[in-house]
Amino acid sequence: MNTGAGGGPPRACVAGIGNVLLGDDGFGPLAVEMFRCNYECGSNVEILDLGTPGLDLAPHLYGADLVVIADAVHAQEKPGTLCIYCEDELVARRAQLRLTAHDPGVRETLALLKLAGHAPSELIIVGVVPELCGLGNGFSPSVLSTCSVAVDNIARLLVERGIDCRRRHAPVQPNLWWLSGARSEFPASR
């Protein structure tokens, strides 16, 4: 994937999905914020914290060459395990996003965009198996320890597809408004 649908650079979207107030369910927003702080990409890459979208996800996926979604996932693995899925696994329900509010929104949005002829060329889910998803729990140590590995995998996926993505010389300060000063919980930028 060296050129996009219009002949220019491939258009990519790196999106975090999850509720930051529900502990490990906020993995997606945490991962994309870590990605934004540690990597820089060309203007053809959108980096978005989308919260818990439904069909309002469609404009962000519309016509993209590559979409990488970071989210907590349901898998028969131990908490903190990194899982990478392709679109076929999501559609076939072999990959399940953690909360049912996320999963149908992504699947239904993909179906809608396919019918309209504007689905992403490729969709990949970079997920982590959560440990704690309760209100006010914060992130579990198992999920925090996996976050930097997930971020590096997001960068690798982009680079492997010919998308400009490189590690920043000096990481940017993260915007973790939901942690209300608990920065010691956040994995250190590299």
131 lies in some domain? yes
* Cα separations in angstroms, 145 against 32, 55, 130: 15, 31, 12
Please give the Cα distance from 20 to 181 (Å, whole number): 14
182 lies in some domain? no
Section 137-165 average pLDDT: 93
Please, which residues bridge with residue 85 across strands?
Answer: 125
185 lies in some domain? no
42 lies in some domain? yes
pLDDT tens for 8-54 read 788 999 999 998 888 899 999 999 999 999 999 999 999 999 888 87
List the domain range (segments joined by +) for residue 163. 12-171
Read off the pTM.
Answer: 0.84
Side-chain-side CA neighbours of 37 within 13 Å: the count stands at 20
What pLDDT was estimated at residue 99? 40
Tell me which of 13-27, 135-149, 166-180 is least confident.
Answer: 166-180
Question: SS3 of 108, please?
Answer: helix
41 lies in some domain? yes
- The residues, any chain, with a CB within 8 Å of residue 19's CB and separated by 6 or more, are 25, 26, 51, 52, 99
What pLDDT was estimated at residue 184? 43
Q: How many domains does the chain have?
A: 1
Measured CA angle at 131 (ends 51, 83), to 5 deg:
70
84 lies in some domain? yes
| CATH number of the domain bearing residue 55 | 3.40.50.1450
Measured CA angle at 108 (ends 103, 109), to 5 deg:
100
Please give the Cα distance from 169 to 164 (Å, whole number): 15
6 lies in some domain? no
2 lies in some domain? no
| pLDDT for 121 beyond 50 | yes
